[in-house]
Amino acid sequence: MRDRASMYGFHAFAIVAVCLCLYVPLAQATEEELAGDDDASEWGERESLYRGLTDDDFAKSIPMFGSDWRFSFGGYVKLDVIGDFSGTGDPYQFITATIPVEGTSGPQPGSYAQIHAKESRFAFEVRNYAEGLPANRAFIELDFFDESTSGPRLRQAYLQWGNLTAGQTWTTLTELRQLPFLIDFAYGDALYGGRTAQLRWEQSSGDRFDWAVAVEDWSDEAIANVDDQPGIARSNFPLLALRGTQDFGGGLVTLGGSLAQLRWDGSGSTSDATALQWALVVGGRIYLDGGQRHYVGFGGSYGDGSSQNIISLAEGGTANAVLLTDGTLETQPAWNSQLALHYEWSDAFSSNFSLAAARIDPSELIGASDLERTYAGHINLIWQSHQIFQTGIEYMYGERENVNGDSGSASRIQLMTMFSF
């Protein structure tokens, strides 16, 4: 077995060398190249010609002639080239719950390469501008990250009617602005939340504060039944979420919380059992300069019976609660945290750094090989040669620790090219 220090040194040398090789030839990009080839006068004539067909509030939209409708489509095509040094269980994204742990029946240590375009996505949006209607839109987004098929997967499908949002989208407590741009698709594992079906009311109070309240679908089935008692985990109520966001000019902060019912619907000799799930969540971004080019992102949560709402723990199959022998529910506390930095070296080059951790306080009845703690770190270099085209390289490292203390680590390099439209 190779010495761990030597292995880490090799990985560090490899990522530095590749980044330097990427940076040196690409650093010659000029501001003129980034601006494109359009002459200013030509653009002025074109803008005048199409002014009646454009809408500054709905970029890239097209009118449906003879109606009050406008529509737009967008997305990107992304190719990822992955070199995994450790045999991580998911070949397409760096899921820390799939890091190999020696002596277990899960993924086995090793190395491999993978090339895929599953993250590519397409979005479609429509709005109606009839007189007297509130602000409205319908939005559908698809990608191809269903690993069981090459077909499309539904990411979002929701409508907005004034202050009301209904459909599947990011949860009320998900603060995406805490994240930098990471190449790894599993960058969202640092979040509390995810995408789910919901009904939300959102409203602004003044120029810099907004709040929202929602009822949401959630993972109410995540109760560990270690004694195989008769019944099923299912709640009588949706999750209730409330949050407020304050923009203070140099950044923003979101605070929120959620409540839900954990319930075991017993049958036969097993009675029903209920417990309260709760969580407190914070997230935000602080800009480091007046031009808002560089920023620090941060986020975290703490809750009881809410581990399935922390993406990195949910991927490890952690339970919100455990059904005890006496028929009651024992909830499991859990927390997560994330710190990130986005820094722009020039108009064309930028880097992103992220550290994320999550942990559950397991019941004594949970299996020894079940997930207890995980963390991951990412660092990258991005070259944006044009507004619609970028490429880059990213190094990531993570660890997984089980309830019995056994642990494993993994690392990989990922390169990407992305064309946005």
The two tokens of residue 183 are 């190449």
pLDDT of residue 52: 63
Query: 75-119+174-420 — its CATH code?
Result: 2.40.160.10
The two tokens of residue 314 are 């949910």
* 330-373 pLDDT, tens digit each: 999 999 999 999 999 999 999 999 999 999 999 999 999 999 99
Q: Which of 238, 252, 250 is nearest to 283 (CA)?
A: 252
| Spatial CB neighbours of 84, under 8 Å, sequence gap ≥ 6 | 91, 111, 112, 113, 114, 410, 411, 412
User: Side by side, which strands form the sheet with 329-331?
Assistant: 223-224, 321-323, 329-331
The two tokens of residue 136 are 């409205």
Distance CA 284, CA 356 (A): 14
Q: What percent of the chain has pLDDT over 70?
A: 88
* 403-420 pLDDT, tens digit each: 999 999 999 999 999 999
* 291-321 pLDDT, tens digit each: 999 999 999 999 999 999 999 999 999 999 9
Residue 42 has pLDDT above 70, yes or no: no
The two tokens of residue 397 are 């490292």
Distance CA 359, CA 380 (A): 25
Q: Please report where in the chains the tokens 């979420």 appear, as a residue.
A: 241
Backbone angles phi, psi at 105, to 5 degrees: -90, 5
Distance CA 330, CA 190 (A): 25
Averaged pLDDT, 265-281: 94
**Residue extents of the structural domains in the chain:** 75-119+174-420
pLDDT of residue 39: 53
* 44-71 pLDDT, tens digit each: 665 565 666 788 889 899 999 999 999 9
